[in-house]
Amino acid sequence: MQSSYRWVIIACGALMTCVGIGAMFSLAVYLEPMSADTGWSRTGISSAMTLDFLVMGAAGFGWGALSDRIGPRPVVLMGAVLLGLGLVLASGATSLGEFQLTYGLLVGLASGAFFAPMIAAATAWFAHNRSLAVSLVSAGMGVAPMTISPFARYLISAYDWRTSMMMIGMIAWALLIPAALLVRRAPDAQAAAEGPAGAIAERSLTVGEALRSPQFVVLAMAFFLCCAAHSGPIFHLVSYAIGCGVTPLAAVSIYSVEGLAGLGGRVLLGVLADRFGAKRVLVAGLLVQSLTIACYLFVSRLEEFYALALVFGTAYGGIMPLYAVLARESFGQSIMGTVFGALTMVSAIGMAFGPWAGGRIFDASNSYAWLYLGSAGVALGAVLVAAVFSARRRQPVLQAA
């Protein structure tokens, strides 16, 4: 378990989440040039992202369950192949429907293959500093907006959107297929899969028992409320800042500061969780998230937006990996991919809900005030739910030598 190879697993996981999530979220960069070139509506193009979220969530559950059965390597290898294929096919789409199917289905399906399986793999490789390990794998998601999206924008400027998307797909193949081949099960997990003779082992829950347990229900509800609370404010931040009088370029920079803070927050809260416990840090982070969302109602100047973006990004970025740590503590390693995949599916529904709700609120009131007030209330609900979480006591069983 203390093998230095565990850091190779962390590096591979961070690379996969960066490229996978970055390729999916780069649709925002393609939106304007695609619409101008093809005449497709922005609503139609954007709907591919909604489909991505839903497919990624459902696929994460399936991929996570499959990784428990056959190991993470074949799962992430299939994801790498599908990601490049989806981007290459989408780059040649001749109709909006064809684009929605290739980008929305294939890219979403591929993106779901990385997060849950690699998080589960990381928890198996680390007996100590597990929170930090999980946070470092998920840090790839924080790096994505600062790498993949700007690179896609550069390629669009140098060539066109179709060439850019095709090149990103080929780069995904070049990076992720070799990385997938480096992924392996942790020694203890491999030994368990082969059925060793051992003195003491944990009594493993079945998947059905885990998904019906109070611990899973509480974690899933907290994860859903957490993501539903912050996804709307994140997605509509630029528009809200512009409405407050901030220039468009400066408003985009607020979003970048938020993303950078999220990267640091993953490391910071991971270290704190290893020292003080994942539940305590999760509840504290959720409370900070709720308060900062509410504070957006009282800011209007650029420096105030920057200050809040630092706190908000640190909070929402840092708390996301902690759900995996709490799941590992309650359900053990043998079904970790399945359980965390199911949690990811629930959280993806919350992520899809926030931007839609924010748009409806603004269209109805011509203001984002109720979005931020409502999101702060939902985030407070996540605090209350997470506070009642209690890890399941796992029962040891004696095995014959």
Structure confidence by residue, pLDDT tens digits, 296-355:
999 989 999 999 999 999 999 889 889 988 988 888 878 888 888 888 888 888 887 777
Q: What does the pLDDT average to over 94-99?
A: 92
What pTM was estimated for this model as a whole? Answer: 0.76
Digit-coded pLDDT (tens) for 5-33: 889 999 999 999 999 988 887 887 787 78
When mean pLDDT is compared across 138-142, 156-160, 270-274, 393-397, the lowest value belongs to: 393-397
CATH topology of domain 1-184: Growth Hormone; Chain: A; (1.20.1250)
pLDDT at 32: 77
Give the pLDDT of residue 396. Answer: 54
Q: Which of 59-68, 189-198, 359-368 has the highest mean pLDDT?
A: 59-68
Cα 125 to Cα 11, 183, 341, 382, distances in angstroms: 13, 11, 18, 30
Determine the average pLDDT of the residues in 54-74.
88
pLDDT (tens digit per residue) in 47-56:
787 788 788 8
- CATH code for the part of the protein at 206-392: 1.20.1250.20
Query: What is the per-residue pLDDT for 191?
Result: 42
The answer to whether the CB of 258 falls within 8 A of the CB of 344 is: no
Residues of the chain with CATH 1.20.1250.20: 1-184, 206-392
Q: Report d(CA 362, CA 84) in Å as an integer.
A: 36
Mean pLDDT of 244-254: 80
Spatial distance between the Cα atoms of 263 and 260, rounded to a whole number of angstroms: 5
Q: Rounded to whole angstroms, how far apart are CA atoms 170 and 84?
A: 6
Comparing CA positions, the residue from 100, 89, 94, 64 lying closest to residue 79 is: 64
The predicted structure's pLDDT at residue 86: 94
* pLDDT reading at 178 higher than 80: yes
Q: In this predicted structure, what is the pLDDT of residue 397?
A: 52
State the amino acid at position 154 in one-letter form. Y
